[in-house]
Structure 1
């Protein structure tokens, strides 16, 4: 019993009031949610890991059906929803639901929005740990205030650091101070307010590597004819395309097939506009870097034909395509299971329709007979009864013979 009480304390208990949410990593769930049940063992491991590592973050959970008002107040729309409550701010977690990713998110957001790099050794250590590193260099300034605000907003995605110029590599030469620098892809790039626009937009764009593996989570926040070819374009044409495109590769073609409602060949190159689900396909196979650059440029200047979109008709077509694909995959993997899952409901519905139609037909004939009777006079009704009785007598006589 002692062990059970300790484990419950480690994982955090049920949260029942708003005050107990402060400073916690909270999982909003519903008892009927299958994804919530799947997350439960991971959630337990997250609680154990955070407590054993000495993290100040404590883990809790809230039944959104029992406390729907509080869940609505925090903007919970789907389940499970994970939020870290820090002061008056609620940071929403949107990454993979694994122990390591959730723990890393909790430790990152719970700490200071901007972390100091006091030495060259610390700077080099962070360079090894992070593929993308944002650093503010300089003293107090308006740019530093903006940087702190952006860090408070976007710390859910990446770390933010500050350092003095002496901490940076001696080979670096900054045109002016203060400056915001991003280190990635073996190089560094400096923020320019006049060319790059708002600092928040620039950070949002630069927090990805120049070339990365794309999955469902990466697409939510934002093909190989030879990965090296696309990587070369991403690096050599950075100044031309970086502000408008994110380069990457995707394993498999299931997502793209669903998007274009067809079968895309592998390997292929496709340009996807994640804001409206439009996509662009090259008119001919791309085999050289010049062809790839020309294709990207045609999309950029508007001469390439756009397909798809997020209109209501496209959404209906996509739902129908996904449903058909699901049914076909079930029949291909297990024909008997497919017949049972889809044949049984269709059979039941057919029997119900037949029963309804038959019942209506019988009721209709009864109503017609009643109307005929209402239209008869008393004498006609007596004659009908006599003829009916005579008919029965004749039937009885014939059966006796």
Structure 2
């Protein structure tokens, strides 16, 4: 009997590592509480684990916690389970520092031990729908009309959806892997004429790109070589005209194309909506550019970066490089109410011919912008720290100037705190 027990113990060790470690972590639908002693073991025990780095005093963290509790059992029940865990980053500071946590809450998704920062929604139902993308097949094979319908419904509205009708999955598999984190990919092997009418294509093979949340779709009939196919997929990762807000701005982070930005007084007004329709037509014919719009009423701080104030004639058009520079077209900075299509054409022609004036993005009020993004408590902390540093500097012997931070650090702080007013990506506090 003793020999049998020893053999069982050795078997447990060789199969699962240490038995206590295997028992410690179970996919039971509960949120795991991690610390420095068990964090690495947890990450290595699960293929997919979403970790919430939180602080007990953080308001956003307190509101997020019940959402994670609600999502955890649903994610644990997936065919490829996703475990949710949390770390008190305010207590385990070295662990937080190791994983580049500089604000709360910070969510990181670990996939086979490799982490990416989670920028998706924070409401339980939406969070589940968003995370399903990461455990889905690279390319789903659909064999009936109902399978196509179920796939589109399950995909939701956060990512664009690509359906290849009459295509072999190998045609898009490489690109599906490349853009797995940004879109759903599928091929339909069997479908009816009704589906062709529904998705508005009249021959096969065809690749249909859908943007459910924007009610937009595009169709590609080839050629299906990587270069042309890749261009179509990349260009359709964004809708024709992007409404710029905290949630969509992150999508432009790695965008190489320039952004034709239209600034209106209120993007919800009828005049603005009519203008957006004209912009869609221009965007469809100028795929080498990204078209976007923002309303001053919706995001005044962002519009202020481009010199928009109470005296600015709106709508205003500029071409932005996505960073610190933008270009105005000489003579066509603003649009009149009449014949806006012709004015937009003239604007694009002037830009392409180089009749532009280069300008630098304006910095908004530091206190006002920071206060709006991260909350007054953090502002007080920042002010206090800066004041202490200035006092130390004034009484020290060194004359080296105080360094507040680099532009990329400020950008990171802005993007990290940008979601304070909604559940969207990068909502952090403190």
Two-structure CA RMSD over aligned residues (Å): 4.5
1:106 to 131, 146, 168: 131
Alignment pair present for 1:270 and 2:317: yes
Alignment pair present for 1:12 and 2:37: no
Greater RCO between the two (CA within 8 Å, min separation 6)?
A: 2
Partner of 1:283: 333
The structure whose residues are more often strand, as a share, is 2
CA–CA separation in structure 1 for the residues paired with 2:219 and 2:97? 41
Instruction: Give aligned pairs, total.
Output: 320
Alignment pair present for 1:298 and 2:350: yes
1:170 to 172, 196, 202: 196
Range moving further from structure 2, 129-138 or 285-294 = 129-138
The DSSP-based 3-state class of the residue aligned with 2:33 is coil
- Could you list the runs of 5+ residues in structure 2 that have no partner in the other structure? 1-27, 253-262, 266-270, 373-381, 397-430
Structure of larger gyration radius: 1
Range moving further from structure 2, 86-95 or 212-221 = 86-95
Alignment pair present for 1:256 and 2:302: yes
Partner of 1:181: 208
The DSSP-based 3-state class of the residue aligned with 2:233 is helix
The DSSP-based 3-state class of the residue aligned with 2:248 is helix
Partner of 1:4: none
The DSSP-based 3-state class of the residue aligned with 1:182 is strand
**Closer, same or farther in 2 for the Cα pair 1:30/1:231, shift >3 Å?**
closer
Partner of 1:337: none
CA–CA separation in structure 1 for the residues paired with 2:318 and 2:303? 14
Residue 163 of structure 1: CA displacement? 1.2
CA–CA separation in structure 2 for the residues paired with 1:57 and 1:143? 29
Alignment of structure 1 residues 85-96 onto 2, 5 Å: 85-87=110-112, 89-96=114-121
For residues 69-125 of structure 1, what are the alpha-carbon distances to aligned partners after superposition, in whole Å with 9 as ceiling and x for unaligned?
6864x6656553322223354343223444444322222212323333332133245
The DSSP-based 3-state class of the residue aligned with 1:135 is strand
For residues 108-167 of structure 1, what are the alpha-carbon distances to aligned partners after superposition, in whole Å with 9 as ceiling and x for unaligned?
2123233333321332455565484211334546523323323xxx33333222212535
| TM-score, length basis structure 2 | 0.59
CA–CA separation in structure 1 for the residues paired with 2:190 and 2:353? 40
The structure whose residues are more often helix, as a share, is 1
CA–CA separation in structure 1 for the residues paired with 2:272 and 2:134? 34
**Closer, same or farther in 2 for the Cα pair 1:188/1:285, shift >3 Å?**
closer
**Closer, same or farther in 2 for the Cα pair 1:76/1:118, shift >3 Å?**
farther
CA–CA separation in structure 1 for the residues paired with 2:129 and 2:301? 27
Asked if structure 2 preserves the Cα contact closer than 8 Å seen for 1:133 and 1:183, the reply is yes
Residue 182 of structure 1: CA displacement? 0.9
